[in-house]
Amino acid sequence: MTGEAPSGLSVGLSCVVALCAGVAAWLVVARDQGRRRAGALFTGRVEARTAWWERAGARVRQRLAGRWEWLCPVVASAVAVLGQSVLPLPAGLVAVPLVRRWLRRRARDKEQERRAAGVVALCGAVVGELRAGREPGQALLVAVHDTGALGAAEVGVSAAARFGGDVPAALRQAAREPGLDGLAGVAACWRVAVDGGAGLAAGLDRLEGALRAELRGRAELRAQLAGAWSTVTVLALLPVLGIGLGAALGADPLRVLLHTPAGLACLVTGGLLEAAGLRWAARIVRAGETG
């Protein structure tokens, strides 16, 4: 009997160990599955939330396209609520035409840069078509259609090239459009090739190189002046940062600026000096851009 006891005890211990191992294995598997489910659920929620924010941002950008200046009254309303004053509301309305003018000028500059790059592409396309064996008029038609660089001026140039009109005159007329001044060089090359029998492809090739070098120089100058524009932006944001810092320290700067005579005087004087400084700095940087 004493010999059976150890055997039975060992069997029982073996069963307990096996049971514990099975329970531990089950817990590990269940925990891993729970982690995977939780991770998948969390990842799905994060992806869904990110997608929702992206859709919301796209809708906001779509509705505000061309009307970003109307954010000024919204910001002014928020400041009016925080400062418990109606004074920011007229300032926000006055800022609308100023911001609209700045945005339109910025869009106009970008459009001129795009057109200038289109003229370079047009020269390269015409050279390629000429070297492929096309006639000058046909080469110009194909290049104008493929590049779409002329915009509204495409009709006159295409008509002159298609019906045997005065192509150099049409190109000079199109060169009066902002950003298309490079077409004056194309017109000169065309006139020389027609009157003197010179190679049009060689002339346009050299013109393309010159226009491309000019665009590259403008891009390099703009990159060098990016630091100056950053400085102007930081200087413009310093008063806002100062107001935020004062609010964080509990000084309540909006109440002082909007509800006390000394604060109103400081606000008006600071706003005028800020506008004058920004205009002066912007003029200096733009003078550097124009060379």
Residue 150 burial by Cβ neighbours in a 10 Å radius (0-12, 13-18, 19+): buried
Gap between the terminal Cα atoms of the chain: 110
Euclidean distance between CA atoms 5 and 182, whole angstroms: 106
Give the model's pLDDT for residue 224. 82
| pLDDT bracket for residue 9 (50, 70, 90) | very low
Tell me the pLDDT tens digit for each residue of 275-285. 888 888 878 87
| pLDDT bracket for residue 131 (50, 70, 90) | confident
Residue 2 has pLDDT above 50, yes or no: no
Give the model's pLDDT for residue 4. 44
137 SS3 class: helix
For range 55-66, the mean pLDDT = 61
Most confident of 17-31, 63-77, 148-162, 242-256: 242-256
The four Cα atoms 110, 115, 117, 123 give a dihedral, to 10 degrees, of 180
With both helix axes pointing from N to C terminus, report the angle between 167-174 and 154-162 in degrees, rounded to the nearest 10.
Answer: 170
Give the model's pLDDT for residue 5. 42
- The single-letter code of the amino acid at 235 is L
Q: Is the CB of residue 281 less than 8 Å from the CB of residue 235?
A: yes
For range 210-238, the mean pLDDT = 84
Q: Is the CB of residue 235 less than 8 Å from the CB of residue 278?
A: yes
The larger pLDDT score, comparing residue 53 to residue 156, is at 156
Residue corresponding to tokens 């004062």: 246
Give the model's pLDDT for residue 16. 47
Residue 29 has pLDDT above 80, yes or no: no
